[in-house]
Amino acid sequence: MRLRAILAILALSSPSWATEPLGEPEPTPAPEEPACVSTDTQVCVDKEDLKKFLQLAQERKCLDETKPDFQLDPIIIITDEEGRVFYTGNDPKKPYKLSMEWCHYKAEAEGDVKVVAAMNEPETWGFRFRPKAYLGYLPLKPLLKDDVKFSEGIDAGLMLDFFYVQWVNVNITAGFRSTGVGVGFDLTKNFGVETGYVFSWSEPMGHSALGSIYFAF
């Protein structure tokens, strides 16, 4: 009697065992990667270190295949007629600048420009070849002769400056009325006055003083 009761209880409880859901299976762990071992033919490098090595290799390739680009401020040097020298790059407010770019490198620099000028001092005396054109007047001809017109005292021609001491020079003159020698005085670089003594082409043994202005070539 007791055995039947136990069997009946087991029969009633067996469906609940059959309908109970099963638990999810546990995931299978991934197989571990074999550890890298350095040998004579290979070297094991960490991934982060490998990235750094590749970056260094790319930078080295850029440095080998490209040239640096330099940007320089222009330097302007000016000299005037008095021998003074003016140049850019020496103003503290506007210093001379230099910049360089090369691959991932960039650099800038500032500084002062120094100019050393060797001045060529002109000679104060000596011999030279300096041609001039002159326009002058022979004052003695109209003064000594009554029949000579004023226009007959006008003379023009060429003058050669062959010796000088600062702004004073000695000249040989040759005009269409006379030839002779004289002393000139430079008023500017290419202009001056001259006085001299000349002989006339048209009159035998004719002579006169000459006053003129000249323009040097």
168 and 93 in a common domain = no
Q: Tell me, yes or no, whether 190 lies in a domain.
A: yes
Confidence of residue 18 (pLDDT cuts 50, 70, 90): very low
Domain that holds residue 90: 64-111
> Residue 116: inside a domain, yes or no?
no
Regarding whether 211 and 165 lie in a shared domain, the answer is yes
pLDDT in the model for residue 46: 82
Does residue 55 lie in a domain region? Answer: no
In a domain, 27, yes or no: no
Would residue 169 count as lying in a domain? yes
Q: What is the mean pLDDT of residues 23-44?
A: 68
One domain for residues 145 and 167? yes
Rounded Cα–Cα distance for residues 89 and 98 (Å) = 11
CB-based burial, 27-64: b 16+ in 10 Å, e otherwise: eeeeeeeeeeeeeeeeeeeeeeeeeeeeeeeeeeeeee
Name the most confidently modeled range: 24-28, 77-81, 179-183: 179-183
Regarding whether 105 and 129 lie in a shared domain, the answer is: no
Q: In total, how many domains does the chain have?
A: 2
Q: Is residue 82 part of a domain?
A: yes
- Reduced to 3 states (helix: H, G, I; strand: E, B; else coil), residue 207 is strand
Clarify whether residues 106 and 187 are in a common domain: no
102: CB partners within 8 A, 6+ apart: 63, 66, 67, 68, 69
16 in a structural domain = no
The verdict on 105 and 162 lying in the same domain is no
204 and 157 in a common domain: yes
CA distance 45 to 53: 10
Going by pLDDT thresholds of 50, 70 and 90, the confidence category of residue 146 is low
HSE-CB at 115 with a 13 A cutoff on CA atoms is 16
Q: Within this chain, do residues 101 and 180 fall inside the same structural domain, yes or no?
A: no
Q: Are residues 103 and 130 in the same domain?
A: no
Instruction: Report helix, strand or coil for 9.
Output: helix
pLDDT digits 0-9 by tens, 155-204? 999 999 999 999 999 999 999 989 999 999 999 999 999 999 999 887 75
How many Å apart are CA 111 and CA 100, to the nearest integer?
A: 15
Helix (H) or strand (E) holding 126, with range, is strand 125-137
Q: Predicted confidence band at 17 (pLDDT cuts at 50, 70, 90)?
A: very low
Taking 70 as the threshold, does the pLDDT of residue 30 lie above it? no
- Over range 125-143, report the average pLDDT: 88
For residues 137 and 191, state if they share a domain.
yes
Q: Are 132 and 107 within one domain? A: no
Q: What is the mean pLDDT of residues 82-103?
A: 84
Write down the pLDDT at residue 32: 60
Give CA separation, 115 vs 91, 119, 149, 189, in Å.
Answer: 13, 12, 63, 28
Q: For all residues of the chain together, what is the average pLDDT?
A: 82
* Full-model pTM: 0.49
Same-domain check for residues 162 and 95: no
Largest pairwise CA distance in the chain: 191
